[in-house]
Amino acid sequence: MATVTVSLLAVVIAPSASASHTGLGAVRAFDYGFEGVPAEIEASHRFDFKFANVGAEFHEFVLLELAPEHQDATVEEAIAAADSNDLSFISGFAGAAFAAPGEVAKAALRPDDVGRYVYFCFFQTADDVPHYQLGMVGFLDAT
């Protein structure tokens, strides 16, 4: 799974010649949540950041653009959409990061459009519970 995440990151958000780069700082993943995720970022800019996994399990940070009709979604609705693989809930991919326990990865996000984005960790516990069901889900706005 790590290879796929890194490959998607490289293909989807590779910087263009006109891309603007901004440092986002560090996002920390722990069992089971995120710290350091801003509530708002600027659209159409590439944000470089460090993704630190301080937990005991593998974690990822996947940023997806919400579809226009889901801009006011709740966490519960996002979880339900993820549980049912409802792809109509999202309209785009804005980046991802992955890190093994105790590791730090360099990553980037690029929210192309103004709007609301949802982030998840899709990894599962040993009991097959998705991490997003345990709190690794949230929203940020691109303005």
Question: According to the model, what pLDDT value does residue 22 have?
Answer: 55
What tens digit of pLDDT does each residue of 7-34 get? 223 223 333 333 444 556 789 999 999 9
- Per-residue pLDDT tens for 78-120? 999 999 999 999 999 999 999 999 999 999 888 999 999 999 9
Q: Per-domain residue ranges for the chain?
A: 2-14+26-142
**Side chain identity at residue 4, one-letter code:** V
Three-state DSSP at 108 gives: strand
- Helix, strand, coil proportions of the chain in percent (round to 5)? 20, 45, 35
**pLDDT at residue number 21:** 46
Domain 2-14+26-142: CATH superfamily, name plus number: Cupredoxins -  blue copper proteins (2.60.40.420)
Number of Cβ within 10 Å of residue 44's Cβ equals 13
